[in-house]
């Protein structure tokens, strides 16, 4: 069966879609009330993030748009030191979308939400004219424990930059699907609760955290340098990239520094905590390939020491730069 304009009418077809797919997987005490808004219990400071997800294909090696939207929203909350609690989601469906495909995506989304410890508490559906596409908008809410202060403006000279693992996997995966290139590259799509929890459980002095998504590492580090009024210097030799992804990039002329990821983050921590923080991250499922890749220094901008021994400045991603994946 396919989605039709009738599924967006608010009538019987809409109700059936809600019960047959969304209600089946998203069932919980708050959502089941079917009120106009969810009433939530929160305490202290909260973090709130909104994001929209567009990806082709909808299902790819290592994930799908449902898993992607939960991981992306949860990670945004985690990067502020928050404990993710709740998610809302809005589905914009083009007529012609296969309901079997929608069922798989919603089931994946529900499973990932359970694994990440968040509850889907509100949502909406709309149907528009089109050719079977799907777009999802989410909002996430998390509670910030007392004493945590994570911000892009906190970095100071002698802090170190740690990346949680190999760069470029997601971008290379999506491009491979679109270009029909056969390889073993999988998206790194993942919620990073374990990495962030390990940092705080080990009493690491975390200055800032960012997930390395659209725009890549190069853009993220420039934004942090600007916010903190410092210079960040990377060591190119230390930046982890999977051999197959590096080969993919070499063939297509892509730079892993600007490629999008969906399960990687950087943490800037106090220099005295560098080794302890690296060990804490490497002891998690999603941080086994973590590396210290740079330092914060007095100055401005972002620089990289190349394999040839030279130092060059790198800027934010300008224009398209790379084929877009979202």
Q: What's the confidence (pLDDT) of residue 246?
A: 97
Q: What's the confidence (pLDDT) of residue 318?
A: 72
To 10 degrees, what angle do helices 274-282 and 193-201 make? 140
Whether 116 is in a domain gets the answer yes
Q: Are residues 201 and 302 in the same domain?
A: yes
% of residues, the chain, pLDDT over 70:
98
179: buried, middle or exposed (CB in 10 Å: 19+, 13-18, 0-12)?
Answer: exposed
Question: pLDDT tens digits, residue range 210-245?
Answer: 999 989 999 999 999 999 999 999 999 999 999 999
**The tokens of 259 are what?**
């490629």
Q: Are residues 63 and 203 in the same domain?
A: no
Q: Are residues 139 and 280 in the same domain?
A: no
Whether 320 is in a domain gets the answer no
Q: Which of 313, 214, 303, 320 is closest to 264 using CA atoms?
A: 214
Question: pLDDT tens digits, residue range 88-137?
Answer: 999 999 999 999 999 999 999 999 999 999 999 999 999 999 999 999 99
Whether 53 is in a domain gets the answer yes
Average pLDDT over the chain, rounded to an integer: 95
Q: Are residues 10 and 51 in the same domain?
A: yes
Q: Which of 196, 204, 237, 239 is closest to 221 using CA atoms?
A: 239
Of 115, 143, 171, at which residue does a domain stop? Answer: 143
User: CATH number, domain at 220?
Assistant: 3.90.650.10
Question: pLDDT tens digits, residue range 123-144?
Answer: 999 999 999 999 999 999 999 9
Q: Which domain holds residue 300?
A: 160-313
User: CATH number, domain at 47?
Assistant: 3.30.1330.10
Q: Are residues 15 and 120 in the same domain?
A: yes
Q: What's the confidence (pLDDT) of residue 326?
A: 63
**The tokens of 316 are what?**
């934010």
Peptide bond preceding 57 in cis form (omega within 30 of 0): yes
Q: What's the confidence (pLDDT) of residue 311?
A: 95
Q: Are residues 204 and 291 in the same domain?
A: yes
Whether the CB-CB separation of 15 and 22 falls below 8 Å is answered with no
Whether 155 is in a domain gets the answer no
Q: Are residues 137 and 240 in the same domain?
A: no
Q: Are residues 164 and 309 in the same domain?
A: yes
Whether 256 is in a domain gets the answer yes
Whether 212 is in a domain gets the answer yes
Whether 326 is in a domain gets the answer no
Q: What's the confidence (pLDDT) of residue 203?
A: 97
Q: Are residues 134 and 166 in the same domain?
A: no
**What's this model's pTM, rounded to 2 decimal places?**
0.95
Q: What's the confidence (pLDDT) of residue 323?
A: 60
Instruction: Indicate the pLDDT class of residue 322, thresholds 50, 70 and 90.
Output: low
Work out the angle at residue 13's Cα, subtended by the Cα atoms of residues 7 and 18, and round it to the nearest 5 degrees. Answer: 85
Q: What is the number of domains present in the chain? A: 2
Question: pLDDT tens digits, residue range 1-34?
Answer: 999 999 988 889 999 998 999 999 999 999 999 8
Question: pLDDT tens digits, residue range 151-195?
Answer: 999 999 999 999 999 999 999 999 999 999 999 999 999 999 999
Q: Are residues 117 and 252 in the same domain?
A: no
Question: pLDDT tens digits, residue range 245-271?
Answer: 999 999 999 999 999 999 999 999 999
Q: Are residues 136 and 175 in the same domain?
A: no
Of 93, 113, 143, at which residue does a domain stop? Answer: 143
Whether 325 is in a domain gets the answer no
Q: Are residues 138 and 169 in the same domain?
A: no
Radius of gyration of the chain (CA): 21
């Amino acid at each position: 069966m396919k989605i039709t304009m009738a599924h967006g009418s608010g009538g019987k077809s809409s109700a059936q879609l809600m019960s047959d797919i969304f209600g089946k997987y998203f069932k919980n005490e708050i959502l089941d009330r079917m009120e106009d808004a969810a009433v939530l219990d929160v305490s202290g400071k909260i973090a709130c993030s909104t994001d929209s997800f567009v990806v082709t294909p909808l299902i790819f090696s290592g994930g799908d748009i449902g898993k992607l939207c939960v991981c992306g929203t949860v990670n945004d909350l985690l990067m502020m030191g928050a404990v993710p609690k709740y998610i809302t989601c809005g589905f914009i469906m083009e007529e012609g979308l296969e309901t079997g495909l929608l069922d798989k995506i919603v089931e994946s989304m529900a499973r990932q939400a359970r694994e990440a410890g968040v509850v889907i508490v509100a949502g909406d559906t709309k149907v528009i004219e089109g050719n079977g596409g799907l777009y999802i908008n989410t909002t996430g809410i998390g509670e910030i424990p007392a004493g945590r202060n994570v911000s892009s403006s906190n970095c100071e000279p002698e802090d170190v930059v740690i990346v949680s693992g190999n760069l470029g996997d997601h971008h290379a995966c999506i491009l491979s699907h679109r270009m029909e290139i056969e390889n073993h590259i999988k998206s790194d799509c993942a919620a990073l609760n374990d990495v962030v929890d390990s940092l705080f459980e080990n009493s690491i002095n975390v200055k800032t955290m960012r997930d390395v998504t659209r725009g890549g590492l190069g853009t993220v580090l420039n934004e942090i340098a600007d916010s903190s009024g410092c210079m960040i210097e990377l060591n190119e030799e230390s930046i982890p990239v999977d051999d197959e992804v590096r080969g993919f990039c070499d063939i297509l002329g892509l730079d892993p520094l600007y490629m999008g990821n969906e399960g990687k983050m950087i943490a800037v921590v106090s220099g005295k905590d560098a080794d302890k923080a690296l060990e804490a991250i490497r002891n998690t499922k999603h941080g086994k390939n973590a590396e210290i890749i740079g330092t914060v220094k007095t100055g401005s901008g972002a620089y990289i020491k190349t394999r040839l021994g030279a130092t060059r400045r790198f800027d934010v991603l300008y224009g398209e730069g790379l084929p877009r994946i979202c």
